[in-house]
Amino acid sequence: MRLLRVATCNLNQWAMDFDTNLRNVKESIARAKTAGAVVRIGPELELTGYGCEDHFLEQDTTAHAWECLKDILSGDYTDNILCSIGMPVIFKSVRYNCQVFCLNRKIIMIRPKMSLANDGNYREFRWFSAWSYKDELVDYQLPIDISEAISQETVPFGYGYIQFLDVALAAETCEELFTANAPRIDLAFSGVEVFMNASGSHHQLRKLNLRIDSIRNATRLCGGVYMYANQQGCDGARLYYDGCCCIAVNGDVVAQGSQFSLKDVEVLDALIDLDAVSSYRACVSSFREQASHVTKVPCVKVQYKLCQTFRNGMIPTDPIEIMYHCPEEEIAFGPSCWLWDYLRRSRASGFLLPLSGGADSSSVAAIVGCMCQLVIKDIEKGDEQVKADAIRIGQYKDGEFPTDSRELAKRLFYTVYMGTENSSEDTKSRAKRLAEEIGSFHFDVPIDSVVSAFLSLFERFTGKRPLYKVDGGSHTENLGLQNIQARVRMVLAFMMASLMPWVHNKSGFYLVLGSSNVDEGLRGYLTKYDCSSADINPIGSVSKQDLRAFLRWAAIHLNYSSLAEVEAAPPTAELEPIRTDYNQLDEVDMGMTYEELSIYGRLRKIFRCGPVSMFQNLCHRWCGRLSPSEVAEKVKHFYKYYAINRHKMTVLTPSYHAESYSPEDNRFDLRQFLYNTAWPFQFRKIDQLVQDIAKDGKWEDSTDVQLRERRAVRSAPGSGMGVVAAGSANPSAGL
C-alpha cells in the first residue's frame, strides 16, 4: 500500500493584511505537519487575501506576497512537506493568479490559473490573465532577493504536474473545478493521482450542494484524490467565504471542514490509500482506453518520496456523510460570522439597530443574537482568539470574559424602537420582548416631537402643512410625510451609535445595522437615506420568503420565541395613521406580493429576462391563474417601478451577499440607474403578444375553466388568497 497523509484548510484571510495572512498560513502549515501530513494546500491568493481587487494592480501587492513567501522559505515550515501557497505572480509583465509549490525550502513549480472567474461577484480578468499554454513548462526567473535567500535562480512555470518517486500531484484553482474542459481530465489520463484545489469561493444560499457535487464528480469520473481548500470569513467587503474545505477519494468525501466558523485557522487531514486510486481507474475500461493515447502533459520530476508503506495501525480514512445546513441555518450562521469579522476588524465597539418589531429588523436582531451565541460557544470550546476579541470588544476588565450570550449582547448591541403616532402597540411590544430575549440594551425613543419640529419649520417658510392621504392629503403630501419619519430615524440612529458609548463611559463607536431585504431593494420599496441606510446590512440580499422561514426556525432553535409572533404579523411600514377602516400594508403599497417579487427577481437576474421574455415565461408559469393581459399588467407594473427606483441601488447599504438575484449595484448587478420608465418598445411588444394570444384563442380556451375556478376561490370570503392587482394601490409609498 502507498499511504499518503494530506492536509487542507480553511483560512480567515484579510485582504491586504499581510501580517494576519502570513501568520495564518504559517499556523496551518505547522498544524498540518503536527498531524503528520506531507502535502498541504491553502486557499486561493492566501498571502494577499482574495478580495484585494484593484490593489492587485499595484506592484507593491505582488512584491509583499514574495516577501511573505521568502519568510516562509527561510524557516523550517516547508521541511518534509509539499506546500501549495496561493499568491499573484508577474511573468513577462503579465500578472497571473498562481499556486506556488514549495518543498524543503525550495520552489518546485509555479502553476498559473488557466480559467478565470469573471461573472457574478468575480472580476478576475480585470486583474489577471489566464495562462493558455499547455504544451510546455517555461523557466521563470525568481526575484533577486528570493533567489539569493533560497539559492535558486529559476523555477518551472505553467501547466503541468509534479512527479515524485511514488506519486504524481497537480493543481486546479477554484473556477477550474467547474469548467467543462477541466485540466484534471488530461492530468488524470497522464497518471496524476492527487489534485489540489486552492479556492476563494463565497457563500450563497443553497450553493454548497453544487460545490460538493462538483468535487465528488471530479473524482468519481476520473478517480483520484481531490483536496479542496477555501478561504473563510469576511476579508473586507460584502462577501463571506464559507470554508468547507474537504478531501474526496474516488467519488466519496472522506473529510469535511466547517462551513461557518469563527476560527481563523482550521486544518483538515486524511490518510489516503493511493493504490485504491490505481485500482479504481484500472477497472474502468473506457478510462484505460482514453488514457492510453492522451496528449502528453509536461511534468516536473522530483527525486523525493512522499508516501509511507503500510504499518500496523495505519488505517486509510473512511468516507463520511456530508453535512449540509438548511437555508434557515445558512441565514443564521453566515451573516453572524460575517458580522463578527466586520466588528472585530473595524475596531468598533458594537452594533446599533433600529428595531421596529417587523420581520426584517427582527431578523437582523436575531442574527446578532446568534453571533453572540456562537462567540460564547467558541469561548467554551477554548478558542483563545475569539475570547481575546470578545474581551476587547466588550471592554471586560480584570480577567473577566463573557460566559453568557445575553450578557455579551448587553455590552455590544443597542436596539432602538423609534415610534411615532403611527406606530402600533403590537410592534412596540414585539421589539421590547425580542430585545429582552436577545439581551440587547434597548431604548424606546418616541420621535413625534422631532417630526413635528420639521413640519412646523416647513409650514413656517411655506405657509402650508401637508396631510396624510387618509386625512384628505394628496399622494405627494402622503409620501413626504412618510419619508420624513424614515429619514429622522436614520439621523437619530447614527447620532446614538456615535454618542451612546460615551454616555455609558465606553470607548469607540457602534456600527449602524440596516434591515432592508433583497425584494424591497429590487422594487425600490424603501426610502432613500432612511434607516435602511446604515453602515452594513446582513440581510440585504436575502428574500422576504427566506427571512420568514428563518424567523420560524430562529424562534425554536435560537430560543427567541417572540419571533413566531413577528413572522405571523402582516408586513407594514407603519408610516401612515392607523384607522379602523385602513391599515397600511407593504404588499398593498407595492402593488405586488413578496412571492411575486422573488419570481420577478429570479427571472430578471438569474434567467436574464427583459420585460418581453419575463412576460412570456410568466404566461406559462401562471397559466390557469391569470390571463395574458393580467400577466402583462403585472410585468409592466414591476418594470415601471424597478426603473423608477433603480437609482436607490447606487446608495444601498453594503450588504452581505447571499442571493443570486441581488440587485446590488456596486459589483454584482451591473446595470444602469437611469431608465426610460415607460419602456415604450418593450411594453408595445408585450401588448402585441397579448393581442396575438387573444386572436389565437387556444391559450384562453385551455385555461378558461381553471381561471374561473381560481378566481372564484380567491374571491370567496375567508379564502385568504387575495391577489393584489397591479396598480390597485399607492405603489410609491416608501420612495
Q: Which residues are identified as catalytic?
A: 44, 113, 174, 356
| CA gap 499, 507 in Å, rounded | 10
Query: What stretches of 245-306 adopt beta strand conformation (E)?
Result: 246-249, 252-256, 265-273, 299-301
| CA gap 110, 89 in Å, rounded | 9
Question: Positive or negative, the Cα torsion across 398, 401, 405, 410?
Answer: positive
Using only C-alpha atoms, the chain has a radius of gyration, in whole angstroms, of: 29
| CA gap 119, 676 in Å, rounded | 27
Three-class DSSP labels, 538-579: CCCCCCHHHHHHHHHHHHHHCCCCHHHHHHHCCCCCCCCCCE
Closest by CA to 539, choosing from 200, 205, 120, is 205
On whether the CB atoms of residues 64 and 89 are closer than 8 A, the answer is no
Helices (H), 622-676: 628-645
- C-alpha count within 13 angstroms, C-beta hemisphere, residue 297: 24
On whether the CB atoms of residues 52 and 200 are closer than 8 A, the answer is no
SS3 state at 459: helix
| CA gap 256, 317 in Å, rounded | 12
Q: Which residues contact 140 (CB under 8 A, 6 or more apart)?
A: 89, 91, 110, 154, 155, 156, 157
Q: Phi/psi of residue 97, each to 5°?
A: -90, 115
| CA gap 180, 334 in Å, rounded | 30
Closest by CA to 156, choosing from 171, 145, 166, is 171
> Could you tell me whether strands 265-273 and 2-11 are parallel, antiparallel, or unpaired per DSSP bridges?
antiparallel
Q: Which grid cell sits at 235? A: 476579508
On whether the CB atoms of residues 11 and 40 are closer than 8 A, the answer is no
On whether the CB atoms of residues 268 and 247 are closer than 8 A, the answer is yes
| CA gap 499, 496 in Å, rounded | 5
Whole-Å CA distances, 282 to 276, 277, 324, 683, 718: 10, 9, 33, 60, 66
| CA gap 675, 681 in Å, rounded | 13
Give bridge partners of residue 248 from the DSSP assignment: 226, 253
For 680-690, give one letter per residue: b (16+ CB within 10 A) or e: eebbeebeebb
Helix 680-696 with 628-645: angle, nearest 10 deg: 170
On whether the CB atoms of residues 194 and 37 are closer than 8 A, the answer is no
On whether the CB atoms of residues 136 and 183 are closer than 8 A, the answer is no
Q: Which residues contact 504 (CB under 8 A, 6 or more apart)?
A: none
Closest by CA to 323, choosing from 221, 265, 245, 386, is 245
Task: Tally Cβ neighbours within 10 Å of residue 464.
Answer: 9
Task: Tally Cβ neighbours within 10 Å of residue 260.
Answer: 22
